[in-house]
Structure 1
Amino acid sequence: MKTVALDITRTGWVTTFQDLGRRDTERRGVPTGGAADQHSAAVANLLVGNPRGATLIENMGGEPALVPDSDVLLAVTGAPAEVTVGGTPVSSWSPLVVPAGHEVRVRGDVNRGTRNYLAVNGALTAETLLGSAAPDARMGFEQVVARGSRVLLETEFRGFTGRLFEPPLFRLPVPVPRFENGPWDIDVVACHGIHTIAGIREVIGDSTYVVTPRSNHVGLRLDGPVLHPDSDTEIVSHGVPVGALQIPHADELIVLGRYRSLTAGYPIVGVASRTSLPLLGQAGPGQELRFRWTDRETSLRRFARREAEVRTLEHAVAEAFGALGLSAPLPRTN
């Protein structure tokens, strides 16, 4: 094991430490939080041989960059981006050997997604709250990665025993999501028996919504047509899942994210499918969304297929690394 320093030479609009969030904390009133795009974060870690939930860097907008003082194995995922190492273009969604002293720079396209994830083989040194490095500004745990700071990494990576390959290192079955131009289609499962608003499914299914600048990590606020309950009967406060479609008193639709409040008193008319949540995590101001109603069984089948793709990648990475002969075993700690 060796310690590597990653010098942060540039940051984006918001650059933080991140992981997949907290476990078993919602029963204590603390949201799970974690990466807005859980799929991209998990795949980034798998591509460098880390556990899915290892700490990595999440960036929103701008042009983050870092320089390692020793060779590292690194991957960048998330929204479409131009990635360079020492000024040379390289592939995203692929493992990369970054030589010591070479700057890694990521220039994302905010018109096709807002977040990128940068994972490095090993364990990044970051503070934790309730077992997770995920930030929670409301609890004073911001986890901001600042320009000029030095991030320490504990890693066993010392290069490959054989000849280094030019990027891409491997031909891997990477499940890369599609970031289409124009409206993004979001699958939604209806909430039967919770809140009934006559005609709401037709209105939502036939409309296009636009993400507004008032959106944040708690939820996406969408401009578009909505309907309100016929009566002003008070709704008893109830639990709300990640991805819930909520209609507040204002004429807007809110899709709740991983940092939402755990209870609410507004109508919930549907829940975004688990396969659509990563795409919602990439939606920024101005992005158009369309909602497609689906049933629970179809939603579960689609998620199972996506999970199978990620597991296939996990096994392929382990086999590829073993075939090339890493000089030391990949770390398996969280």
Structure 2
Amino acid sequence: MKTVALDVTSTGWITTFQDLGRCGTEQRGVPTGGAADQHSAAVANLLAGNPRGAALIENLGGELALVPDTDVLLAVTGAPSRVTVAGSTADSWAPLVVPAGHEVRVRGDMSRGLRTYVAVNGTLSTERLLGSAAPDPRMGFGQRVAPGARVLLETAFRGFGRRPFEAALFRLPVPVPRFDDGPWVVDVVATHGARSLPGIREVIEESVYVVTPRSDHVGLRLDGPVLHPDTDTEIVSHGVPVGALQIPHADELIVLGRYRSLTAGYPIVGVASRASLSLLGQAGPGREVRFRWIDRETSLRRLARCETEVRALARAVAGAFGALGFTAALALPAAN
């Protein structure tokens, strides 16, 4: 193992250390948190030869630029972005070797997605809260990465055993999501709360909602038609999952995120499928969203298909790296 320094020469609006979140903390009242786009974060780590839950860097808006003091292996995923190394165009959603002293720069296309992820082979040196590098601003754990910072990591990467100017290193089965220009379609499973608002399913399915600037890490706030209960009966506070579609007193729809409060007293009319949550994590202000009702069995099948694709990538990366003389300790933990 060796210690590598990454000098941060530029950051976006919000750049943080991140991972897939905290396990087993919600029964203690602490939200799981973690990357808003779990799929992109997991794939970035796998492409960099890390376990999918390793710490990495999440960048929201603007340009992120890093300069390593030693050759490093990294991967950039997330929203469509322009990636360059020393000014030359490089690939996203692929393993990328950045030579010592060369700047890697990532500029995401904010019109098509909100967040990009950079995973570097090895273990990033960062603080943890309850076992996770994921920030939690409400608990005073910001995890911000600022311009001028020096990020350290321990890595076993020492380059690949191959001659320069050979053909591309990898052709991997990378499950790259689609970031369409039109309204994004999000699958939703109905809950018992929908029964208390007759007609709400039809209203939601037939409408287009727009993400507002009031959205944050707690949830997406959407402008669009909603229905409210026709009585003043107070709803008993109850537990709410990530992705819950909540209708507060205001005329808006909220999709609760990974940093939501764990209980709520507003109507919950549905829950976004787990396979759709990563797409919602990329939805920025102005993004149009449509909802499509599916049953629980369909939701589980689609989640299983996504998981199968990620596991296939992990096996392919391990095989490709091994063939090039670099053994990456890829673990296959269950997704959060």
TM-score computed with the length of structure 2 as normaliser: 0.97
1:212 alignment counterpart: 212
1:127-150 per-residue CA deviation (whole Å, 9 max, x = no partner) reads 000000000000000000010000
2:75 alignment counterpart: 75
2:40 alignment counterpart: 40
Is 1:61 the equivalent of 2:65? no
Matched position secondary structure for 2:204: helix
Change (3 A) 1:166 1:197: farther
| CA distance, structure 2, for counterparts of residue 192 and residue 141 of structure 1 | 36
**Pairs within 5 Å for 1:153-302:** 153-164=153-164, 168-192=168-192, 196-302=196-302
1:174-233 per-residue CA deviation (whole Å, 9 max, x = no partner) reads 000000001000000000367520100000000000000000000000000000011110
Matched position secondary structure for 1:145: coil
Letter paired with 2:227: L
Change (3 A) 1:119 1:167: farther
Change (3 A) 1:166 1:235: farther
**Pairs within 5 Å for 1:106-145:** 106-145=106-145
Question: Is 2:314–2:330's contact at 8 Å kept on the other side of the alignment?
Answer: no
* Greater shift in the superposed pair: 147-156 or 193-202: 193-202
| CA distance, structure 2, for counterparts of residue 261 and residue 168 of structure 1 | 46
Question: Is 2:46–2:330's contact at 8 Å kept on the other side of the alignment?
Answer: no
Change (3 A) 1:175 1:295: same
1:105-128 per-residue CA deviation (whole Å, 9 max, x = no partner) reads 001100000000000000000000
Change (3 A) 1:323 1:225: same
Structure 2: runs of 5 or more not aligned = none
| CA distance, structure 1, for counterparts of residue 29 and residue 63 of structure 2 | 35
Matched position secondary structure for 2:309: helix
Shift, 1:41, TM fit: 0.1
Letter paired with 1:330: A
| CA distance, structure 1, for counterparts of residue 330 and residue 319 of structure 2 | 15
| CA distance, structure 2, for counterparts of residue 74 and residue 31 of structure 1 | 29
Change (3 A) 1:287 1:165: farther
| CA distance, structure 2, for counterparts of residue 331 and residue 65 of structure 1 | 27
Question: Is 2:191–2:270's contact at 8 Å kept on the other side of the alignment?
Answer: yes
Matched position secondary structure for 1:276: helix
Matched position secondary structure for 1:275: helix
2:91 alignment counterpart: 91
Change (3 A) 1:165 1:252: farther
| CA distance, structure 2, for counterparts of residue 262 and residue 18 of structure 1 | 21
Change (3 A) 1:292 1:168: farther
2:146 alignment counterpart: 146
| CA distance, structure 1, for counterparts of residue 212 and residue 178 of structure 2 | 22
1:330 alignment counterpart: 328
* Greater shift in the superposed pair: 195-204 or 206-215: 195-204
TM-score computed with the length of structure 1 as normaliser: 0.97
Question: Is 2:31–2:260's contact at 8 Å kept on the other side of the alignment?
Answer: yes
Matched position secondary structure for 1:292: strand
Change (3 A) 1:67 1:294: same
| CA distance, structure 2, for counterparts of residue 166 and residue 71 of structure 1 | 18
Runs of 4+ aligned residues of structure 1 deviating over 4 Å after TM superposition are: 164-168, 331-334
Percent of aligned pairs sharing the same letter: 78
| CA distance, structure 2, for counterparts of residue 127 and residue 299 of structure 1 | 35
2:28 alignment counterpart: 28
Matched position secondary structure for 2:196: coil
Structure 1: runs of 5 or more not aligned = none
Letter paired with 2:125: T
Question: Is 2:193–2:269's contact at 8 Å kept on the other side of the alignment?
Answer: no
| CA distance, structure 1, for counterparts of residue 322 and residue 22 of structure 2 | 31
Question: Is 1:122–1:331's contact at 8 Å kept on the other side of the alignment?
Answer: no
Question: Is 1:222–1:252's contact at 8 Å kept on the other side of the alignment?
Answer: yes
Shift, 1:24, TM fit: 0.4
2:50 alignment counterpart: 50
Is 1:14 the equivalent of 2:14? yes
Matched position secondary structure for 1:157: coil
| CA distance, structure 2, for counterparts of residue 53 and residue 195 of structure 1 | 38
